[in-house]
Structure formats: structure tokens, C-alpha cells
Amino acid sequence: MSKKKPAKRIINNASRSFRIFTFGCQMNENDSEKISGMLKALGYVEEMDVNKAGLVILNTCSVRENADERVFGNIGAYKTVKKTNPDLILAVCGCMMQQPEIVNQIVSKYPQVDLVFGTHNLHQFPELLNNYMVNGKRLVEVWDDSDTIVEDLPVDRKYPFKGFVTIMNGCNNFCTYCIVPYTRGREVSRQPDKIFAEVKALVADGCAEVTLLGQNVNSYGNDLDETVNFASLLRQLNTIDNLKRIRFMTSHPKDLSDAVIDAIAACDKVCNYIHLPIQSGSTRVLKAMNRKYTQEDILDRVRAVREKIPGVAITTDLIVGFPGETEADFLETLKVIELCQFDSAFTFLYSIRTGTPAATMADQIPDAVKHDRINRCLEVLHRISHDINQTYQGQVVEVLVEEPSRNNPERMTGRTRTSKLVNFPGDPTDIGTQVMVKITAAKTFSLDGEKIEQEDTHGAADTHDDPIPANS
């Protein structure tokens, strides 16, 4: 006999505890830090066990099909979790929620979801949660877009010594494969004085490194006063005392101006590292992707970066199997990888995103071809990474220590200014500090080294670090 479902759920969320799962990019992570900040301001505490937590938030990503699948798998599992933890409130937010068909699917097929909100109304979360707790009725509230940035949300940073700072929201580029312009809306830049104040506050709070976030940081300020651009922002932030490192992502090659490269080179705090996604090396494919640059442009920008920024590391993103990509196009990509000598790359199989122009393009590439191409791509990339890492052998590099190494707590792990992962024998007191490490072994994905005493390297920690020969 079926019982009538109560219209109203009685919430007994006395525990005020939560757990957030983050599925996407750094901007998604930064959003999770804000959600966590808002909850902690309300007196909530983190509870890692979802069977005990009062609230679970899934912050979703939609960039590729497997991201969607992971999220649906997770939401599905909460049907069982809710049997052992019936008071649990399940909230789902992030980029997937900006797609109406996904929200419809959740509403019709996943009754275990209590609260849905999107990327543009993240700041409303405490209010929505409160409404849900008062009414006990499922709440779905997603804004289509937003032309303002809500300032001053509390941020619960994952690491005390490094922080993300979102400098702009959205994307105007509409690469034909990409869902992000639909999930994050149009570009809106934050006012530089707000960014400056946030970075200053982070540094006062003990932060040594900031990463400036935007889908295309090189177009920062296009919607602001004409004196404001990414180069001027870098120069301004570089004046902040006690800030040690400035990083940023992502740089779109079409907007990487000489002025930005000059600013990176001139600012001692800006790391000599650039993530420059090229996606493909074939001009024909780049045109179909609507990337607005050619193979020659890539080579020209990489040359300029290498000429002006000593010891720079360059990483990239690549998509293989874009619709219509021929073997000849793919060979152009391999050629460009060789010519650019990328330190490393994130490589992706092209994934159909419904609603984007590429989804309906003719000549979709079979999976087997995509897999073959990605494997060939990785072979070249790994060889190059390995060779570049060998040049670090015997060098002394500055490492910002992040955490104990995953498989050996007696070793610490951190990153060089060029973003290389370094493992060395150390102890937890090193975490959050910059130490000088002599590299003793170089592998494809990381470097091993030994810490050397700080007295020997007095003053070196603040310099723009080209690897320094140990015996110089």
C-alpha cells in the first residue's frame, strides 16, 4: 500500500554540519570556498562523513560528458545515504544547474535533491537554505545571468598560505565546443580596487601566494575604465608588501598581448609560469573551434613569452578528436607541441556538449580514433616533460611547501615558481613557507630534492627564480 507523500518535510538539522564536494575547475573550487565561508559564518562546521552531515552540497561541473556522469552517479547514491541519514539536506549547485534540461531531469528523477541553485545566485545560498528549512519544500532557484559581482562574501580557504582570487566572471569567447559561456554568462570584471583590497587582506592573513582566476584573464578590464587591463592589474598587485607569488589562469592566446608579457617579466612576484591553452595546432581546426588565432600566432606568442620571461614554464590544454579533425590536422598539433616544448598539458577527448555549435557539426570522430590520438599526444608530451625536468637536476629552486606527500608523511610536497611539483624530506613545520631545495632526481611528473639551509640562500626567496645552479 502506498503512503501519501507529506508535502512538507520536517527538518531536524540540529547538527549544523556540512560537507561540500567540488567537481570542477578552480573557479568552481573558489565558489565552494565561498559556500563554505557562508556556512561557517552561520555557525556550521565541516563533517566529512556524509552519513552524519546535516547538509551535503554537490558543486557541479559540466565541461565534459564524464563530469556530468560523475555528478549524476553521486546524486543517485544519496538515495541510499538518505536512508541512513534521513535528516540530510542535499543541495546541488554549480555549472550543471545553469542548464535547464539538467535541472528538469533532477526535478523529475531525483527526489533526494532538496535544494538547487546556480552559479549566478551563489550568494543567495544562506537565504535559500533558510527558506528550505522553514518550509521543508524542495526549492529550485537559478538565475540565467548576472551583470554584477557580489563582493565581500566570506571565503573559507582550503590552504591558509595560498588563495584564489576571482578577478572576472563569465566568458565571451564562445569556442564552438565549450559549455562555459552558457553556464557562466558574459564576462564581468571586478573593480581593481576590490581585487587589490582582497589580495591585501589575504596577505595580512598570512597568504604568500595568490592565483588570479578568470576564463580569459587577458581580457580582464575590457568592460571597465580603459586604463584598466590585465597588465595594469599585475603591476598594481606586484606592489603589495609581503606577497610572495602571483599566479593567474587562464590565458587565451588571442589576447596575450606584449603588454601582458612585459608585465609578467617586469613584476618580480608574478611567477615565470603561464598556462596557455592552445587546444589544437591546426589552423583549420582552430578556425572551426572559433579560437581566433592560427598556428603561426601560437608560435609567435610562445616565442615572445620565452624571449621575455627567463626560465618560463608553459603548459597547455589540448582537445583531440574535434569534429572534422583529420590525421593531417592532428599531425599539426604534434608538430606544434614539439615546437613549443610545453612543460606539460591537460589533454582531453572532444566531448559533445549539447547546445554548443560543435555538437551538431558533421564528421564527429570515432572514439577509437580519439583514443589513438590522445595516446600519441601523451607519448610526445611525456617525453618533453621528462626532458625539461632533467634540466632541473642539480639546480636549487624555491619551493612553497603545501602538504605532506601523499604516500610518505615524512616527505613534504610543494611547487616551484614554474609550478613543478617537488618532493623532499621535511616536516610539517615547513608547510606554508618557502624553502630552497636542491633537485636530486627528475621524473616526468615531479622532481625530488633535498632542502638546503635558508642562511645559504639569503635573499633568494624573493627573486624571480630561474633555477639557480647549486654551486654558483
Minimum CB–partner distance for residue 214 and ligand SAH (Å): 8
340 labeled part of a ligand binding site: no
Interface with ligand F3S, residue 25, by CB under 6 A: yes
Minimum CB–partner distance for residue 356 and ligand SAH (Å): 7
Helix/strand/coil (H/E/C) assignment for every residue in 303-318: HHHHHHCCCCEEEEEE
Q: Which residue is nearest to ligand F3S (CB)?
A: 24
Q: Which three cell numbers mark 353?
A: 556538449
Minimum CB–partner distance for residue 30 and ligand SAH (Å): 14
Q: For 192, phi and psi rounded to 5 degrees?
A: -60, -35
Interface with ligand SF4, residue 252, by CB under 6 A: yes
Q: Which does 181 bind (CB under 5 to 8 A by kind): ligand SF4, ligand F3S, ligand SAH, none?
A: ligand SF4
Q: Which of 35, 282, 309 is nearest to 153 (CA)?
A: 35
Minimum CB–partner distance for residue 95 and ligand F3S (Å): 3
Interface with ligand SF4, residue 178, by CB under 6 A: yes
68/93 Cα distance (integer angstroms)? 13
DSSP E strands, 73-202: 89-94, 115-117, 139-141, 162-166, 168-169, 188-189
Q: Which does 350 bind (CB under 5 to 8 A by kind): ligand F3S, ligand SF4, ligand SAH, none?
A: ligand SAH
Interface with ligand SAH, residue 71, by CB under 6 A: no
Between 346 and 445, whose beta carbon lies closer to ligand SF4? 346
Interface with ligand F3S, residue 62, by CB under 6 A: yes
Between 75 and 274, whose beta carbon lies closer to ligand SF4? 274
- Contact set for ligand F3S, span 94-123 (CB under 6 A): 95
Q: Which three cell numbers mark 143?
A: 538565475
Count other C-beta atoms under 10 Å from residue 10's C-beta.
7
Q: How many CA atoms lie within 13 A of 242 on its CB side?
A: 11
Minimum CB–partner distance for residue 179 and ligand SAH (Å): 7
* DSSP 3-state percent helix, strand, coil across the chain (nearest 5): 40, 20, 40
Contacts of 194 (CB under 8 A, 6+ apart): 151
Asked if residue 319 lies in contact with residue 279, where contact means CB atoms within 8 angstroms, the answer is yes
281/285 Cα distance (integer angstroms)? 8
Q: Which three cell numbers mark 187?
A: 564576462
Asked if residue 313 lies in contact with residue 418, where contact means CB atoms within 8 angstroms, the answer is yes
Minimum CB–partner distance for residue 346 and ligand SAH (Å): 7
Q: Which does 61 bind (CB under 5 to 8 A by kind): ligand SAH, ligand SF4, ligand F3S, none?
A: ligand F3S
25 labeled part of a ligand binding site: yes
Interface with ligand SAH, residue 248, by CB under 6 A: no
- Contact set for ligand F3S, span 174-203 (CB under 6 A): 179-180, 183-184
Choosing from 183, 189, 216, 251, the residue that interacts with ligand SF4 (CB under 6 A) is 216
Interface with ligand SF4, residue 171, by CB under 6 A: yes
Interface with ligand SF4, residue 174, by CB under 6 A: yes
Choosing from 28, 146, 250, 347, the residue that interacts with ligand F3S (CB under 6 A) is 28
Minimum CB–partner distance for residue 119 and ligand SAH (Å): 14
443/314 Cα distance (integer angstroms)? 17
Asked if residue 203 lies in contact with residue 243, where contact means CB atoms within 8 angstroms, the answer is yes
DSSP E strands, 201-297: 209-213, 245-249, 273-275
The site string for ligand SAH over 431-470 (x = CB under 6 A, - otherwise) reads ----------------------------------------
**Residue 136 three-state SS:** coil
Antiparallel, parallel or unpaired: β 468-469 and 395-405: antiparallel
Between 66 and 375, whose beta carbon lies closer to ligand SF4? 66
347/287 Cα distance (integer angstroms)? 19
Bridge partners of residue 46, in order along the sequence: 18
- Contact set for ligand SAH, span 249-278 (CB under 6 A): 250, 252, 277
- Contact set for ligand SAH, span 142-201 (CB under 6 A): 177-178, 180
Pick the stretch among 41-49, 60-68, 109-117, 327-335 that binds ligand F3S (CB under 6 A): 60-68
Interface with ligand SF4, residue 346, by CB under 6 A: no
Interface with ligand SF4, residue 319, by CB under 6 A: no
Q: Which three cell numbers mark 65?
A: 560528458
Gyration radius from the chain CA atoms = 23
Contacts of 370 (CB under 8 A, 6+ apart): 320, 321, 349, 350
178 labeled part of a ligand binding site: yes
Minimum CB–partner distance for residue 434 and ligand SF4 (Å): 31
Q: Which does 174 bind (CB under 5 to 8 A by kind): ligand SAH, ligand F3S, ligand SF4, none?
A: ligand SF4
Q: Which of 64, 132, 71, 36 is nearest to 374 (CA)?
A: 64
Minimum CB–partner distance for residue 116 and ligand SF4 (Å): 23
Contacts of 409 (CB under 8 A, 6+ apart): none
- Judged by the rule CB under 6 A, the positions of this chain that interact with ligand SAH are 63-64, 177-178, 180, 215-216, 250, 252, 277, 279, 317, 319, 348, 350-351, 353
Binding-site members for [4Fe-4S] cluster are: 25, 61, 95, 171, 175, 178
